[in-house]
Amino acid sequence: MEILHSISDVKKYVKRFKSEGLTIGLVPTMGYLHEGHKSLIEKASSENDRVIVSDFVNPIQFGPNEDLDVYPRDLEHDAKLSESAGASILFNPEPSEMYFDDAVTFVNSSEITDVLCGARRPGHFRGVCTVVTKLFNIACPDKAYFGEKDAQQLAVIKRMVRDLNFDIEIVGCPIIREEDGLAKSSRNTYLSPEERKAATVLSRSLNNAREILKTGERDADKIIKAITLDIEKEPLAKIDYVEVVDSLSLKSVSKIEKSVLIPIAVYIGKIRLIDNFTFNI
- Binding residues are 30-37, 61, 147-150, 153, 176, 184-187
Is 265 a binding residue for ligand PAF by CB under 6 A? The answer is no
Task: Report which residue type is found at 95.
Answer: P
In whole angstroms, the minimum distance from the beta carbon of 231 to ligand PAF comes to 24
CB of 124: closest distance to ligand PAF in angstroms? 8
Nearer to ligand PAF, 37 or 204 (CB): 37
Distance in angstroms (rounded) separating the CA atoms of residues 243 and 265: 9
Q: Per CB under 6 A, which region of 27-35, 97-105, 220-228, 249-257 contacts ligand PAF?
A: 27-35
Number of residues binding to ligand PAF, judged by CB under 6 A: 10
Burial track 29-47 (b if 16+ CB lie within 10 A, e otherwise): bbbbbbebbbbbbbbbbee
Is 186:32 a contact under the CB 8 Å cutoff?
Answer: yes
How many residues are recorded in the chain?
281
Segment contacting ligand PAF by CB under 6 A, of 23-31, 111-119, 201-209, 227-235 = 23-31
Among 42, 78, 142, 150, binds ligand PAF (CB under 6 A): 150
Task: Give DSSP secondary structure letters for 195-261.
Answer: HHHHTTHHHHHHHHHHHHHHTT--BHHHHHHHHHHHHHTSTTEEEEEE--EETTT--B-SB--S-EE
Catalytic machinery residues: 37
Told to check if 155 binds ligand PAF by CB under 6 A, we report no
The annotation places the binding site for (R)-pantoate at 61, 153
- Out of 4, 13, 25, 29, point to the residue binding ligand PAF (CB under 6 A): 29
Residue 190 is which amino acid?
Answer: Y
30 touches ligand PAF (CB under 6 A): yes
Compute how many other C-beta atoms are within 10 angstroms of the C-beta atom of residue 185. 23
Pick 58 or 88: Cβ nearer ligand PAF? 58
Under the binding rule (CB under 6 A), the answer on residue 28 touching ligand PAF is yes
Contact 272, 266 (CB under 8 A): yes
Residues that bind ligand PAF (CB under 6 A): 28-30, 58, 61, 128, 131-132, 150, 153
